[in-house]
Amino acid sequence: MLLKDKVAIVTGSAQGIGREIALRFAEEGAKLALCDLNEEALSKTASEIGSKTSQCIKLRADVTNPDDVEAVVKKTLDTYTKIDILVNNAGITKDNLLVRLSPEDWDLVLSINLRGTFLFTKAVSRPMMKQRSGTIINISSIIGIMGNAGQANYAASKAGVIGLTKSVAKELASRNIRANAIAPGFIKTAMTDKIPEEMRNEMLKLIPLGRLGEPKHVADLAVFLASELADYVTGQVIQVDGGMVM
């Protein structure tokens, strides 16, 4: 077990990639704090994980709300007395061409994807600094590296996550806290189910491995980064994209 008795907060863990990361962490012996806006799906995922050996608490939280974020961190510390791992996974898309992109949709995507990551990172940094240990994993995207027509807000938010990750890695390294980003390519989840069939087929042509990714591909890398196996890895952006960007 790579994460035995490690305490992990995973945001946006009701479904998709976050859910799979939480499940894999549980299989590796972690104790979990799940948080999401989607309460119904969150309860389902939490009881699924609870039926395995690991301990699991769930909290409805909006990552853009500082009070919600503080409440998750406090509840996690009250329950488990420490926080070893934070996965900033909650994220959304609101796609539109630049000329049609509203300031509201710009703000919403930046707020959830980037501000949420900042708020949670800041909130766990104090207990992690006291512990003199911790690892932070931010879910970015290859879109944050390569850009994409119709996704200026999403690309900016995910590029911002990369800048934030590298800065946090430099700032907290002396306290033995690591921070890394995962940049997934095209992964099968509710987020990508929305993409029209025709566009999906076009994207497939750009993937050398010739297939879409599964949430498990991202979760396996998250396990590695969270574990002692990655003890000397910090400030990195690692792509899980079937070779789409190289």
What's the rounded Cα separation, in Å, for the pair 140 and 179? Answer: 12
Site string for ligand NAP, 113-132 (x = CB under 6 A): ---x----------------
User: Which part of the chain contacts ligand NAP (CB under 6 A), choosing from 59-67, 78-86, 95-103, 231-239?
Assistant: 59-67
Token couple for 52 = 């395995």
Query: By CB under 6 A, is residue 97 in contact with ligand NAP?
Result: no
Query: By CB under 6 A, is residue 36 in contact with ligand NAP?
Result: yes
Query: By CB under 6 A, is residue 92 in contact with ligand NAP?
Result: yes
The total number of residues written for the chain in this structure = 246
Query: By CB under 6 A, is residue 90 in contact with ligand NAP?
Result: yes
What's the rounded Cα separation, in Å, for the pair 54 and 42? Answer: 16
Q: 153, 154, 219, 226: which one is catalytic? A: 154
Query: By CB under 6 A, is residue 63 in contact with ligand NAP?
Result: yes
Map 107-124 to HEC letters. HHHHHHHHHHHHHHHHHH
- With tokens 């104090």, the residue in question is 126
Asked if 232 is an active-site residue, the reply is no
Toward ligand NAP, which CB reaches closer, 129 or 195? Answer: 195
Query: By CB under 6 A, is residue 18 in contact with ligand NAP?
Result: yes
Query: By CB under 6 A, is residue 189 in contact with ligand NAP?
Result: yes
Beta strands 7-11 and 31-36 are parallel
- Give the chain's radius of gyration (CA, Å): 17
Q: How many CB atoms lie within 10 A of CB 202?
A: 11
Toward ligand NAP, which CB reaches closer, 7 or 155? Answer: 155
Phi-psi category of 150—alpha, beta or left, where left has phi over 0 and alpha has psi -120 to 50? left
Catalytic residues: 154
User: Residue numbers of the site for ligand NAP (CB under 6 A)?
Assistant: 11-12, 14-18, 36-38, 41, 61-64, 89-92, 112, 116, 139, 141, 184, 186-187, 189-192
